[in-house]
Chain A
Amino acid sequence: MSAEALLTELRSRLPAECLLTQREQIAPFECDALPVYCSRPLAVVLAQSEAHVVAVATACHRHQVPLVTRGAGTGLSAGAKPIEAGVLLVTAAMNRILELDRDAMTARVEPGAVNLQVSRAAAPLGLYYAPDPSSQIACSIGGNVAENAGGVHCLKYGVTVQNVVALRVVTAEGQVVLLGSQCLSQPGYDLLALLHGSEGCLGIITEVTVKLTPLPEDTRTLMADFSCVRAASDAVSAIVRAGVIPAALEMMDALAISATEAFCHAGYALDAAAILIIDLDGDPREVEAELLLVEEVLGRSGATRVQLAADDVQRALWWKGRKSAFPAIGRLSPDYYCIDGTVPRHRIGDVLEAIQSFAVNYDLRVANVFHAGDGNLHPIIMFDGREPDVLERVERLAADILEYCIAVGGSITGEHGVGLEKINQMAVQFSDAEIAQFMAIKEALDPQRLLNPDKQIPELARCQEYRALRRSHE
């Protein structure tokens, strides 16, 4: 490969303002929202169209230069971290909403369109885009597809993959492929699903057609306080067992409650060990019936207090607290690190207890605020980066938690992706044969391994090393 030849080709194919090579221009793109991993690429391209994406992919392919794609850079697993000898292609500026189709209930958008912007555009049609990551004011739809992002309301409405009907994708060779359509079924392999959660490693997404959902006629929000975390966890399973699938079912523990309350005065009970926030939505008569059922289950499960939001103002306030929990915790602690594991619902109580006992081992504090309904934990490790050995302790605590998730039948990531961050834990969740199968898929669609090559799927040698290292810690 030759960096100079590549840059010359890019200069000839792209408008000058799209190509950044100066150190100070590149600096803002050195990391995503997990800044412990950062590096400076050869060049940053701010693509304005699919033609630009094709030009970059073709040039990188010709010169055998690695290519990392970045959306809005809100990723939490260093998936968009550049490679030093490579190009960083940013799709954030391709942010137009191309078409809203009321009859088909779809929106065709460019990959840089911001998640919330799509729902805002669809609102006049009585529709919205259901997956709502907490980062929805900033993250891009392309990044959502690449991570298969989830959100608070995914329990009932599904994650990104269940809400996308078609994609345009530029391959590692610079070809455009169309996957999916408006039809409710597709011939052939489910390539559309394969691209979801592929973390920029199989193709570059240049257009997304999302499914829109009718705005619910009625939404009611309940908040339940518990005096012990175990009872709150068990209530989550009990609600589902009672045959109710709430639109959202979120949990916060005492540390998260106190941080959030201090930050935005949402009205949470400061003496509760845990709270559940529950949305029920849909047909008003169904909501009414389910409200009674859920209240009854909460009472039976030992809730010390159950409140129904009086109006939309109170609803919004409760949710504002939940959605600002991360920055709120950020105020209590100089640094924090959010992890993302999933476990079977009935093991939530066990896992939360285990997390607290692991945290004691490393002399660290952990707050929990998470998507309880789908068993997706977000333990937030609080620390002070100025302490000498603290990063290593944080990393080992995170590894213990993720490996415990695997041990109870869960996964090392439910929505944030593997990226660089969890690449070691892949070796714990998967066997060599499984890792080799992933690698075969990667090589099938990107034979030269140019697209985000250092992310998501570890080399087999690295897996063996990591497993040996973990054994030596036991």
Chain B
Amino acid sequence: MSEFCAEHDRSTRLQAQVQEALAGAQPLGIVGSGSRASLGLVPAGASLSVADHRGVIDYQPDELVIRARAGTRLIELEHLLASHGQRFAADIPVPTAESTLGGAIACGWDGPARSLGVSLRDTVLGCRLVNGRGEIVNFGGQVMKNVAGYDLSRLQAGALGTLGVILDVSLRLAPLPEKQVTRAFAVRREELEDWWPRCRELRPLLSASCWRDGQLYLRLSGRAGALDQVLPSMGGDDIAFDWKALRDLRSDFFGATGLACLFLPPRTPMAIQEGETLLDWEGARIWVRGGNHPELQRAVQDAGGFLRVLRGEAVPPVVAAPDWHRRLKQAFDPRGIFNPAIFSDQFGGGGEH
């Protein structure tokens, strides 16, 4: 495996750094490669780097599980998996060649295939971390099913490093599809509502959807024999759509200074007045550049969804059960040393749902 991934075990050093921080009552800002900094997901003044704690600990293709250290580059992992005909079961964004596995888990973001597949959270099987008492603790494991004790490994997905320093993670994998094809259709925004039921008919072969600039892109994945029979009657034009650029937020669309993302219940009509939009997840996620964030937040909340701002005017985040968030933070990190500013910005404030 060394052919694909550099190997360094820095667990002891990372643990010592946490213990020192505890002794000196110094908060720690945890960072991988910092590749998500432009999306506001990396603490300012990062002081604990996990980037050189890297390498694959265990990978047996039969098991459909990989266990790797948090600093391992996602790109290296993708190459390793592809060489065995496999991929991550979730659609994990890889913003840059330097982006790390730990960063992906902490952010907990999902790419366009999420709506027809599984979320990153759903694929976290196990996790080892340094907690806020300076101890190394291990939860979950490499097996598919495990209900011994509370599920504290999934809790790390999307926790933005506020509950501990993730040392390594075990993730569920999936086979690479035999064949993958994208078709483009000319569809106006107001016609989309009629297209989503058609999309449902393409399940289980449909693996991702995206709409932008009057074009709807549908990706089908599966056995070649099945796709070859469906494609001739499907219509649309074959196109080499860059799904990775969309997943990794590298498409030009995402370069704007104001960028926000609306998460909606399925089939929720949503008129957006200001800014440019891009839809994926069959319309259950809408990206808006140059929008009016406070207005978007009001609209999305009325519709039973929520808004995330990646760049531009911030809005107070709304989490369910903020009191439980505070208590859990305290249970993992009693001295409040891990990413304290991120905790108060992202999880601390807001009212009850």
Q: Which residues of A contact B (CB under 8 A)?
A: 103-105, 147-148, 150, 154-155, 158-159, 161-162, 177-191, 193-194, 196-198, 202, 214, 237-238, 240-241, 243-245, 282-283, 285-286, 288-290, 342-346, 371, 374-376, 409-418, 422, 426, 429-431, 433-434, 437-438, 440-445, 456-457
Contacts and interface: CB of A to CB of B under 8 A. Distances in A.
A371 to B, nearest CB: 8
Q: By CB atoms of chain B within 10 A, which of A189, A190, A238, A440 has the most?
A: A189
Given A177-B320, A177-B321, A181-B265, 20 more contacts: A150-B145, A181-B305, A182-B265, A183-B264, A183-B304, A184-B110, A184-B266, A187-B346, A188-B346, A189-B324, A193-B155, A243-B176, A286-B226, A342-B145, A344-B65, A346-B60, A434-B137, A437-B139, A441-B331, A445-B328
Contact of A193 (B121, B203, B222): B121
Given A189-B159, A190-B157, A282-B204, A409 B114 contact: no
A408 B63 CA distance: 13
Interface string B140-177: 01111111111110110111000100000000001110
A409 B138 CA distance: 12
A191 to B, nearest CB: 6
7 contacts: A194-B152, A245-B175, A344-B63, A371-B145, A374-B143, A422-B148, A433-B135
A418 B149 contact: yes
B298 interface: no
Contact of B263 (A185, A283, A411, A415): A185
Nearest to B121: A190
B289 interface: no
B141 A411 contact: yes
A104 B135 contact: no
Given A190-B157, A191-B320, A285 B225 contact: yes
Q: By CB atoms of chain A within 10 A, which of B108, B118, B223, B318 has the most?
A: B223
B205 interface: yes
A209 to B, nearest CB: 11
B317 interface: yes
A272 B85 CA distance: 33
Contacts of A346: 60, 62-63
A242 to B, nearest CB: 9
A414 B62 contact: no
Contacts of B204: 214, 282-283, 286
Given A237-B62, A440-B331, A444-B327, A189 B146 contact: no
Nearest to A126: B200
A20 B137 CA distance: 44
A103 B222 contact: no
A189 B328 contact: yes
A183 B305 contact: yes
B155 to A, nearest CB: 5
Interface of B: 60-65, 85, 108, 110, 114-115, 118-119, 121-122, 131, 133, 135-139, 141-152, 154-155, 157-159, 163, 174-176, 178, 200, 203-205, 222-226, 229-230, 263-267, 281, 284-285, 304-306, 308, 317-321, 324-325, 327-328, 330-332, 346-347, 353
A196 B318 contact: no
B149 A438 contact: yes
A444 B304 contact: no
Contacts of B138: 431, 434
Contacts of B157: 190
A436 B147 CA distance: 17
B114 A184 contact: yes
B99 to A, nearest CB: 19
Contacts of B64: 240
B302 to A, nearest CB: 13
Q: By CB atoms of chain B within 10 A, which of A180, A418, A441 has the most?
A: A441
A197 B222 contact: no
A191 B143 contact: no
B266 A103 contact: yes
B121 A414 contact: no
Given A193-B155, A243-B175, A245-B175, A183 B145 contact: no
A344 B143 contact: yes
Contacts of A241: 61-62
A188 B320 contact: yes
A244 B265 CA distance: 31
A251 B141 CA distance: 23
A367 B114 CA distance: 40
Nearest to B146: A411
A103 to B, nearest CB: 5
A413 to B, nearest CB: 5
Contact of B150 (A104, A214, A288, A441): A441
Contacts of A437: 131, 135, 137, 139, 152, 331-332
Nearest to A371: B145
A178 B288 CA distance: 28
A412 to B, nearest CB: 5
